[in-house]
Amino acid sequence: MSVALDILLDEDTQKEFASLTAHQQAAFNWQFRWLNEQALKHQIEPAGDWWNIWLLLAGRGAGKTRAAAETLASWAWEQPGTRWLVSAPTSGDLKGTCFEGESGLIKVIPPLLIAKYNSSLHEITLVNGSLIKGQKKGVAVHKNMDTMRLEMTKKAK
Ligand SMILES: Nc1ncnc2c1ncn2[C@@H]1O[C@H](COP(=O)(O)OP(=O)(O)OP(=O)(O)O)[C@@H](O)[C@H]1O
Ligand SMILES: [Mg+2]
């Protein structure tokens, strides 16, 4: 028997699970399935807090988009009321791949945890108040970075 199944069959665990809210149960099932049953090794974020950038450089169909969607959505769920940015070259990429694609956010997040989805603005609001916003590359992200750079230059002078 797998360790995961062992845990799930444990009576105390079952009692604890039954005491969770519907949202918490949906989130637990989602995370448990992804991390214990579905994700390949290279799709699980590196352990520890020593890294800032996680680059998935792999061939076609290696599961990059799915890993990104699963991971970002889980961070947004674990940290209520936070804001998350998804960037892609075009609006079509955002909608067709990152949000509504076969490995996209709308596919991976349990519907019960989504309070609102605005397809044209590429915005998902979770029931915990977190917002996942799609932004096409080269607009606000770069503008904000330029502003930041300018501020840093000013401070340095
Ligand atoms: N761990 C997994 N278990 C089962 N199916 C998976 C897993 N990871 C990804 N998939 C599925 O495999 C297919 C390809 O995954 P994904 O789109 O994430 O790959 P990709 O590396 O982003 O591909 P591309 O190079 O085309 O951008 C999708 O249908 C996705 O849902
Ligand atoms: Mg992809």
In ligand 1, the atom with minimum distance to the C-alpha of 69 is 18
Which pLDDT tens digit goes with each residue over 4-43? 666 667 888 889 889 999 999 999 999 999 999 999 999 9
Which pLDDT tens digit goes with each residue over 91-104? 999 999 999 999 99
With cut-offs at 50, 70 and 90, classify the pLDDT of residue 138: confident
Which pair of structure tokens corresponds to residue 52?
Answer: 């800032």
Ligand 1 proximity of 65 Cβ (cutoff 6 Å): yes
Task: Please name each of the domains of the chain with its CATH number.
Answer: 53-156 (3.40.50.300)
Which pLDDT tens digit goes with each residue over 43-67? 999 999 999 999 999 999 999 999 9
Q: What is the model's pTM? A: 0.86
In ligand 1, the atom with minimum distance to the C-alpha of 67 is 18
Please name the residue ranges forming H helices in the chain. 3-9, 11-18, 22-33, 64-78, 91-93, 105-108, 140-156
